[in-house]
Amino acid sequence: MIKRIAIFILLPIILTVSGEFVLKATINDIFSTKTTITTNNTQDIKYCQEKIKPTLNQKIDCILSDLKIFVLNTKIVLSLLAIILGGILWLVALSKFELSFLYPFLSINYLSIIFGSQILLKETVDLYRYLSVVLIILGLVFISRSPYSESEND
């Protein structure tokens, strides 16, 4: 029973959250160094990064430049695969457990993201976010005390 919960509930959460962190950190790195990655001439992409009004062709160039950077980045591709695999496992979990039991576990994503964002990404997290985390944890405690049930599709 616990093994099934770990596989079908916790593994998708771990894959999704870790994929999101790597994705965010990688995108932060890309945009902080985009000028040097995209071109040697800073003026060529100045309109992509500043509030200069670009022409339609310049907008398309910016989008294609971003897409090329994203598609060729191994970390981004692996992060997206982890998120997709987490989603597929979540779909399997939906077939194995009652939705009313399963869905509150998604709040673990919120907890992980808030704490991880502050620790790993050095983001500022204010008191209201922490209070909301406490409410989420209380909700999980109440849900965990409710009768456990597996779907009859099992």
Residue ranges making up the domain that contains 11: 1-97
Does residue 114 share a domain with residue 87? Answer: no
Instruction: Give CA–CA dist 114/131, Å, rounded.
Output: 11
pLDDT in tens, 107-141: 788 889 988 999 999 999 899 988 988 888 788 77
Q: How many domains does the chain have?
A: 2
Domain boundary (97, 121, 142) is at 97
In this structure, the answer to whether residues 148 and 88 fall within a common structural domain is: no
46-70 average pLDDT score? 72
What residues contact 93, with CB distance under 8 A and at least 6 apart?
Answer: 8, 9, 12, 102
The amino acid at 119: I
66 lies in the same domain as 6: yes
Q: What whole-number distance in Å separates Cα of residue 1 and Cα of residue 90? A: 17
What lies within 8 Å, CB to CB, of 148 at 6+ separation is: 1, 101
**Which residue, among 83, 98, 82, 110, has the nearest Cα to 146 in the 3D structure?**
98
Q: 49, 65, 97 — which closes off a domain?
A: 97
**130 vs 111: CA distance, rounded Å:** 9
Cα R_g (the chain), whole angstroms: 21
Please write the tens of the pLDDT for every residue from 11-37. Answer: 999 999 999 999 999 988 877 765 444
Separation in Å, CA 40 to CA 35, 37, 46, 135, 136: 7, 8, 12, 50, 48
Six token digits for residue 124:
């500022």
DSSP, res 105? G
Instruction: Note whether 74 and 1 are same-domain residues.
Output: yes
Report residue 125 as tokens.
């997290």
Are 70 and 137 members of one domain? Answer: no
* The amino acid at 118: Q
Regarding whether 102 and 89 lie in a shared domain, the answer is no
Domain boundary (97, 112, 139) is at 97
Same domain for 152 and 117: yes
Which pTM was predicted? Answer: 0.69
- Based on the fold, state whether residues 50 and 123 are members of the same structural domain: no
Number of other CB atoms surrounding residue 35 within 10 Å: 17
